[in-house]
């Protein structure tokens, strides 16, 4: 049993009185232990995550794929409360995916969020000056205003990451019909029962 819980990112999770664990490193360590243990016949990847950063999610996906190639041991993904966005991306690394009927999953997509403080600062008399090496270096900066060129650059980035996500789903989830594929990859969330109907998961069940 390997648990992946909470946000997925490549950094130590902060704790009240200690430094938390890094989800990417923790998964690597657990898979290494499972690979070396001859009594382990298979791995249940128990996922309870709303997603996280693109690179950390992809790194964990690659770790599971490498584990399967190296050991030949099957991996089953079990979705708990939430396995959405990057949580679903990671689940796609498994040989089969099981969900509870009330699991929230899907949310297949990528977003980049920007916030600008420049208008608020101007209203109180503060002016921020930024010197850049190129016209797009400050795209998304708190102290700049997005231009149309900035928007194009960021949208291209999102489109590139989204294509990678969709390619993984198409490759690993061959049971999704073409009639449903565009629907399930438009960013919507689904219940476990809906995900089964659409082909995102293989079975409705529980840990036992």
* Other CB atoms within 10 Å distance of the CB of residue 105: 27
CB-CB contact of 92 with 201 (8 Å): no
Is 191 an active-site residue? no
Cα–Cα distance between 50 and 48 in angstroms, integer?
7
Q: Is 85 a catalytic residue?
A: yes
Q: Which two tokens stand for residue 195?
A: 């995900």
Enumerate residues 6+ apart whose C-beta is below 8 A from 79: 47, 48, 87, 91, 97, 98, 99, 100, 103, 105, 192, 201
Q: How far apart are the first and last CA of the chain?
A: 12
Residue 69 CA to residue 65 CA, distance in Å, equals: 6
Per the CB < 8 A criterion, the answer to whether 52 and 8 are in contact is: yes
Q: Of the listed 25, 70, 137, 177, which one is catalytic?
A: 137
Of 85, 107, 141, 144, the catalytic one is 85
Instruction: Catalogue the active-site residues.
Output: 85, 137
């Amino acid at each position: 049993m390997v648990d992946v819980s909470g946000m997925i990112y490549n950094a130590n999770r902060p704790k009240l009185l200690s430094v938390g664990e890094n989800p990417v490193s923790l998964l690597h360590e657990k898979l290494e232990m499972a690979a070396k243990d001859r009594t382990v016949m298979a791995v249940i990847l128990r996922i309870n995550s709303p997603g996280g950063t693109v690179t950390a999610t992809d790194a964990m996906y690659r770790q599971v794929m490498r584990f399967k190639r190296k050991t030949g041991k099957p991996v089953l993904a079990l979705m708990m409360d939430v396995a959405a966005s990057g949580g679903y991306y990671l689940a796609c690394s498994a040989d089969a995916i099981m969900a509870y009927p009330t699991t929230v999953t899907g949310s297949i997509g990528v977003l980049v969020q920007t916030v600008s403080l420049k208008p608020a600062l101007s209203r109180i008399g503060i002016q921020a000056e930024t010197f850049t090496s190129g016209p797009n270096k400050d795209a998304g900066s708190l102290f700049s205003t997005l231009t149309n060129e900035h928007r194009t650059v960021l949208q291209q980035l999102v489109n590139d990451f989204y294509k990678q996500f969709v390619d993984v789903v198409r490759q690993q989830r061959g049971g999704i019909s073409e009639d449903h594929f565009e629907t399930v990859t438009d960013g919507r969330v689904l219940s476990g029962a809906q995900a089964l109907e659409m082909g995102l998961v293989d079975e409705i069940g529980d840990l036992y």
